[in-house]
Chains A and B, each alone.
Chain A
Amino acid sequence: MAKLEELRYRSAYFLWVGVFFIGVFALIALLYGATAKIDYVWHWFDVPKYIVNQERIEITAGMGGEVAAIEGEGKDAVVIVKDGDDSESYPMAEAEEIWVSKGDFITPGKILGVYHKWQPGILLQGMWLTLKVSMYAIVFGILIGMLGGIARISKNPALKWSAICYVELIRGSPLLVQIFIWYFVLATLFNRLLMVYGFSEIDALYYGVAALACFTGAYVTEIVRAGIQSIHRGQTEAARSLGMTGPQAMYYIILPQAMRRILPPLAGQFISLIKDSSLLGMIAIRELTKATREAITISLSPYEFWFVCAILYLILTFTLSMAVQYMERKMAIQ
């Protein structure tokens, strides 16, 4: 009787798993059907070269003359060119094949050998920039948030009210507007000042990082505040009753405990940050989204590239969330 129940339960379970996959395939088929209807031609084979591509590099002779000798083999091969008393040698370490042989007379610019080099395509470069910008913003966001969170719960009104104003201002306006303020107002102003005093300008990238860091910092401030306040008052009292100063109690007792509770919401915040960094394309920073748009302009395949772009973001966010889960587990074992 119980067996039968279980069997029915299990077959129902697999039925719904089937429904799930059918649904997914139906959705893909629907999308494909719709694009076929408007004669969109998918060019998936175009995509990889925007991620990595091979560049052809030529080793050319700098002077004309006779190939006097080819010394060594394979990786150690060196082509020696002689013209009267002049002589030059060209290491052919990376060349796949040597195109000249001993005794050939060559003109300057003659190709001695060719090799191919892998290099990141525009999408990978964009992804790298997204990662870089996000990492900077995360580091500074944590710093700002730690200080902000501590200021937020301080009894000193100057600190406390500054923190409240900062958080409310940042949370109350769109990130895109903040990025524009950083780029069109603060960056222009500051770069002009730098020029007046004879320094060189700061790259737009850093203003973008600053905008993201300030934005994230406000949210981290709130997360840190909540984390600190979630630690029971008795912990501070025990530390203070032993003669520790306020900062000592904060550093040795409160923050280490708060960190564990802060970590999960912090991870969520940083995943949003990676996604929000896509707005930096608006101020000419060539992060992943902007790079995707450029790739589309060249390839004229928008459908493929937007999907690829989304998947590349997913790789970044998923890696981050796995890393945080790993840290959480390590901290829990302690």
Chain B
Amino acid sequence: MIEVTDIHKTFFVPHKVKALVGVSTKVAAGEVVVVIGPSGSGKSTFLRCLNHLEAADSGHILIDGIDILDRKTNINKVRAEVGMVFQSFNLFPHKTVLENVTLAQKVVRKRGKSEAHDKAMGLLQKVGIQDKANAYPDNLSGGQQQRVAIARALAMDPKVMLFDEPTSALDPEMIGEVLDVMKALAREGMTMVVVTHEMGFAREVADRVIFMDEGAIVEVGTPEHFFQNPTHDRTKLFLSQIL
């Protein structure tokens, strides 16, 4: 489903940072991959390269067989197939919860009003906030907002979902409700790439864990592997800090 070959990304502003230095990996359809690593290790940049919010400098990224670094690719088409959930939710504050979930369906997928509405209500029910459909995002708790954001991404019927630290901005008591939605999604067979430090989540649903440091993949393995016998010193150090 996702095939990444040797991508590099360097930022020059405000100063030169090599954010990614040769990252390669594959994610099969239905697989759940968790990405961990210290702050500044390039996890977000990696994720954002996958839907071209950042353009990788070199290498290849195939999404469902389509090379998104090819200039001829219509990136908007690919993005509609790749849902993304952000750390800071990024809901549209001037639209109601319902409108947040229906807007892109109408504009991008060209769905009719009632079809978009029914789809949205179904998803809001699934993430457990159908009764807030007409509220504005600012009147929702962080956990509720993030669940709306997940529903908004799912409304496009994506083939892949990317999560960039979806629970890091939440109060501890709200982390569970968001993780539950994500676990349910994983069990339904959604292909997911999740940047998170919630090792409980990784243990429960991840097929594979990737540890990144300084813009490169340092270690890959099953969750059990990481809990029982991580090989690299940097991995051990990092895990000792977060567990």
Contact = CB atoms under 8 A, between A and B. Distances in A.
A252 B103 contact: yes
Interface stretch (B89-97, B116-124, B205-213, B223-231): B89-97
Contacts of A237: 53, 86, 90
B108 A242 contact: yes
B107 A252 contact: yes
A242 B104 contact: yes
A241 B79 contact: yes
Interface string B76-89: 11011111101010
A238 interface: yes
B191 interface: no
A139 to B, nearest CB: 24
A306 to B, nearest CB: 46
A240 interface: yes
Interface stretch (A68-76, A125-133, A243-251): A243-251
A46 to B, nearest CB: 53
A241 B82 contact: yes
Contacts of B149: 238
B90 A242 contact: no
Main secondary structure of the interface of B (DSSP, over half): mixed
Contact of B83 (A234, A241, A245): A241
A243 B94 contact: no
Nearest to A241: B84
Q: Which of A234, A241, A256 has the most CB of B within 10 A?
A: A241
B86 A243 contact: no
Contacts, number: 59
Bin chain B's interface residue count. 20 to 34
Nearest to A233: B90
Contacts of B90: 232, 234-235, 237-238
B4 interface: no
Interface string A289-303: 000000000000000
Given A252-B107, A256-B94, A257-B94, A244 B76 contact: yes
B86 A245 contact: no
Q: Which of B80, B81, B90 has the most CB of A within 10 A?
A: B90
B197 interface: no
B155 to A, nearest CB: 8
A132 to B, nearest CB: 33
A156 interface: no
A258 to B, nearest CB: 10
B13 to A, nearest CB: 14
Given A242-B156, A245-B76, A257 B86 contact: no
B152 interface: yes
B53 A244 contact: no
A238 B86 contact: yes
Nearest to B152: A242
A242 B93 contact: no
Contacts of A240: 53, 76, 79
Contact of A243 (B76, B88, B93): B76
22 contacts: A235-B92, A237-B86, A237-B90, A238-B84, A238-B91, A238-B149, A240-B53, A240-B76, A240-B79, A241-B51, A241-B53, A241-B79, A241-B153, A242-B104, A242-B152, A243-B80, A244-B108, A248-B108, A253-B92, A256-B94, A257-B93, A334-B94
Given A238-B92, A239-B104, 5 more contacts: A232-B90, A243-B79, A248-B107, A252-B103, A260-B94
